[in-house]
Amino acid sequence: MPWAELLAEGETVARYWSHVLRRGPDECWWWTGGLTDTGHATFRAVSLPGRTRRGTVPAHLFGYRLAHGPVSVPRGMVVRHRCDEPPCQNPAHWLLGTRGDNNRDAASRRRLTGHALADVRGAAGRARAVQAAIAAASPEDLDQAIAAALAAGNPSGAHQDALF
Protein backbone atom coordinates (compact mmCIF):
# COMPACT_ATOMS: atom_id res chain seq x y z
CA MET A 1 0.00 0.00 0.00
CA PRO A 2 1.64 3.26 -1.16
CA TRP A 3 0.68 5.24 1.93
CA ALA A 4 2.97 8.20 1.34
CA GLU A 5 1.52 8.67 -2.13
CA LEU A 6 -2.07 8.39 -0.91
CA LEU A 7 -1.50 10.81 1.97
CA ALA A 8 -0.07 13.36 -0.46
CA GLU A 9 -3.24 13.39 -2.57
CA GLY A 10 -5.22 16.40 -1.42
CA GLU A 11 -8.41 15.11 -3.03
CA THR A 12 -8.15 11.76 -1.26
CA VAL A 13 -7.45 13.36 2.11
CA ALA A 14 -10.35 15.80 1.66
CA ARG A 15 -12.65 12.95 0.72
CA TYR A 16 -11.59 11.01 3.83
CA TRP A 17 -12.50 13.97 6.05
CA SER A 18 -15.79 14.46 4.21
CA HIS A 19 -16.88 11.11 5.70
CA VAL A 20 -15.84 11.94 9.28
CA LEU A 21 -18.10 13.70 11.75
CA ARG A 22 -15.42 15.50 13.75
CA ARG A 23 -16.49 16.26 17.28
CA GLY A 24 -14.81 17.13 20.59
CA PRO A 25 -11.31 15.85 21.41
CA ASP A 26 -12.63 13.13 23.74
CA GLU A 27 -15.67 12.13 21.72
CA CYS A 28 -15.93 9.51 19.03
CA TRP A 29 -15.65 10.87 15.50
CA TRP A 30 -18.22 8.88 13.59
CA TRP A 31 -17.69 7.62 10.05
CA THR A 32 -20.51 8.39 7.63
CA GLY A 33 -19.17 6.33 4.70
CA GLY A 34 -19.03 2.61 3.98
CA LEU A 35 -18.95 -0.02 6.72
CA THR A 36 -17.84 -3.62 6.92
CA ASP A 37 -19.90 -6.35 8.55
CA THR A 38 -17.77 -5.85 11.68
CA GLY A 39 -18.75 -2.16 11.81
CA HIS A 40 -15.35 -0.92 10.68
CA ALA A 41 -15.15 2.04 8.32
CA THR A 42 -14.07 1.42 4.76
CA PHE A 43 -12.61 4.07 2.52
CA ARG A 44 -12.17 3.86 -1.22
CA ALA A 45 -8.75 5.43 -1.32
CA VAL A 46 -8.57 5.92 -5.08
CA SER A 47 -11.38 7.41 -7.09
CA LEU A 48 -9.92 9.76 -9.66
CA PRO A 49 -10.82 8.79 -13.23
CA GLY A 50 -8.02 7.30 -15.26
CA ARG A 51 -6.16 5.90 -12.28
CA THR A 52 -5.17 2.29 -12.48
CA ARG A 53 -4.56 1.96 -8.77
CA ARG A 54 -7.67 1.01 -6.94
CA GLY A 55 -8.60 -0.25 -3.60
CA THR A 56 -10.54 0.08 -0.45
CA VAL A 57 -8.69 0.44 2.81
CA PRO A 58 -9.85 0.36 6.40
CA ALA A 59 -10.54 4.05 7.04
CA HIS A 60 -8.91 4.02 10.47
CA LEU A 61 -5.67 2.77 8.92
CA PHE A 62 -5.74 5.68 6.47
CA GLY A 63 -6.55 8.07 9.32
CA TYR A 64 -3.83 6.57 11.49
CA ARG A 65 -1.27 7.48 8.82
CA LEU A 66 -2.77 10.94 8.43
CA ALA A 67 -2.14 11.42 12.15
CA HIS A 68 1.26 9.74 12.39
CA GLY A 69 2.73 9.81 8.88
CA PRO A 70 3.15 6.87 6.47
CA VAL A 71 4.30 4.50 9.19
CA SER A 72 4.00 0.76 8.97
CA VAL A 73 2.22 -1.08 11.71
CA PRO A 74 4.72 -3.59 13.19
CA ARG A 75 4.13 -7.24 12.37
CA GLY A 76 1.69 -8.80 14.78
CA MET A 77 0.29 -5.43 15.82
CA VAL A 78 -3.05 -3.84 14.99
CA VAL A 79 -4.49 -0.34 15.36
CA ARG A 80 -7.01 -0.72 18.15
CA HIS A 81 -9.92 1.45 19.28
CA ARG A 82 -9.74 2.40 22.97
CA CYS A 83 -13.41 3.39 22.69
CA ASP A 84 -14.45 -0.01 21.26
CA GLU A 85 -16.39 1.77 18.51
CA PRO A 86 -14.99 0.24 15.29
CA PRO A 87 -16.06 3.09 12.94
CA CYS A 88 -14.52 5.80 15.18
CA GLN A 89 -11.98 8.08 13.44
CA ASN A 90 -10.76 10.10 16.42
CA PRO A 91 -6.95 9.64 16.35
CA ALA A 92 -6.90 10.04 20.14
CA HIS A 93 -8.98 6.86 20.39
CA TRP A 94 -6.46 4.68 18.53
CA LEU A 95 -3.56 2.78 19.95
CA LEU A 96 -1.26 0.03 18.73
CA GLY A 97 -1.64 -3.36 20.31
CA THR A 98 -1.72 -7.03 19.54
CA ARG A 99 -4.72 -9.04 18.45
CA GLY A 100 -4.38 -10.79 21.81
CA ASP A 101 -4.81 -7.43 23.59
CA ASN A 102 -7.86 -6.81 21.45
CA ASN A 103 -9.42 -10.18 22.17
CA ARG A 104 -8.69 -9.98 25.89
CA ASP A 105 -10.23 -6.52 26.19
CA ALA A 106 -13.24 -7.53 24.13
CA ALA A 107 -13.85 -10.58 26.29
CA SER A 108 -13.81 -8.53 29.50
CA ARG A 109 -15.68 -5.48 28.20
CA ARG A 110 -18.53 -7.21 26.44
CA ARG A 111 -19.84 -8.24 29.85
CA LEU A 112 -20.09 -4.62 31.01
CA THR A 113 -23.68 -3.49 31.13
CA GLY A 114 -24.41 -0.85 28.53
CA HIS A 115 -21.01 -1.21 26.88
CA ALA A 116 -20.51 -0.85 23.12
CA LEU A 117 -19.50 -4.51 22.90
CA ALA A 118 -22.71 -5.57 24.66
CA ASP A 119 -24.87 -3.92 21.98
CA VAL A 120 -27.61 -6.37 20.96
CA ARG A 121 -27.42 -5.12 17.35
CA GLY A 122 -23.79 -6.18 16.97
CA ALA A 123 -21.01 -3.83 15.94
CA ALA A 124 -22.28 -3.27 12.40
CA GLY A 125 -25.88 -2.72 13.49
CA ARG A 126 -24.69 -0.22 16.09
CA ALA A 127 -22.56 1.65 13.55
CA ARG A 128 -25.44 1.77 11.03
CA ALA A 129 -27.84 3.04 13.71
CA VAL A 130 -25.46 5.90 14.55
CA GLN A 131 -25.09 6.76 10.86
CA ALA A 132 -28.87 6.83 10.42
CA ALA A 133 -29.23 9.07 13.47
CA ILE A 134 -26.58 11.47 12.16
CA ALA A 135 -28.25 11.59 8.74
CA ALA A 136 -31.65 12.34 10.26
CA ALA A 137 -30.66 14.79 12.99
CA SER A 138 -30.48 18.54 12.69
CA PRO A 139 -27.10 19.98 13.79
CA GLU A 140 -28.38 21.20 17.15
CA ASP A 141 -29.85 17.77 17.97
CA LEU A 142 -26.80 15.77 16.88
CA ASP A 143 -25.37 14.92 20.31
CA GLN A 144 -28.74 13.82 21.60
CA ALA A 145 -29.50 11.80 18.44
CA ILE A 146 -26.17 9.96 18.65
CA ALA A 147 -26.62 9.26 22.36
CA ALA A 148 -30.11 7.88 21.72
CA ALA A 149 -28.88 5.69 18.84
CA LEU A 150 -26.14 4.25 21.06
CA ALA A 151 -28.45 3.68 24.02
CA ALA A 152 -31.01 1.86 21.85
CA GLY A 153 -28.67 -1.12 21.55
CA ASN A 154 -28.64 -1.70 25.29
CA PRO A 155 -32.25 -2.27 26.30
CA SER A 156 -31.24 -2.60 29.96
CA GLY A 157 -31.04 1.17 29.84
CA ALA A 158 -27.68 1.38 31.59
CA HIS A 159 -25.34 4.09 30.42
CA GLN A 160 -22.02 3.29 28.81
CA ASP A 161 -19.13 2.69 31.19
CA ALA A 162 -16.20 5.04 30.90
CA LEU A 163 -13.09 3.16 29.85
CA PHE A 164 -10.42 5.81 29.68
> Which positions lie near Zn ion, rule CB under 5 A?
28, 83, 85, 88, 90, 93
Minimum distance of Zn ion from residue 83's CB (angstroms): 3
Q: In this complex, which beta carbon is closest to Zn ion, that of residue 46 or of residue 130?
A: 130
Q: In this complex, which beta carbon is closest to Zn ion, that of residue 48 or of residue 106?
A: 106
Minimum distance of Zn ion from residue 158's CB (angstroms): 19
Q: In this complex, which beta carbon is closest to Zn ion, that of residue 90 or of residue 160?
A: 90
Minimum distance of Zn ion from residue 90's CB (angstroms): 5
Rounded Cα–Cα distance for residues 127 and 107 (Å): 20
Question: Considering only CA atoms, which of 163, 134, 147, 149 is closest in space to residue 21?
Answer: 134
Rounded Cα–Cα distance for residues 66 and 53 (Å): 19
End-to-end CA distance of the chain: 32
Minimum distance of Zn ion from residue 162's CB (angstroms): 12
The DSSP string of 72-130 is PPPTTEEEEETT--TT---GGGEEEEEHHHHHHHHHHHTTSTT-GGG-TTHHHHHHHHH
Q: In this complex, which beta carbon is closest to Zn ion, that of residue 61 or of residue 88?
A: 88
Q: In this complex, which beta carbon is closest to Zn ion, that of residue 24 or of residue 74?
A: 24
Minimum distance of Zn ion from residue 98's CB (angstroms): 20
Could you give the angle at the alpha carbon of 142 between the alpha carbons of 163 and 151, nearest 5°? 45
Helix/strand/coil for 22:
coil
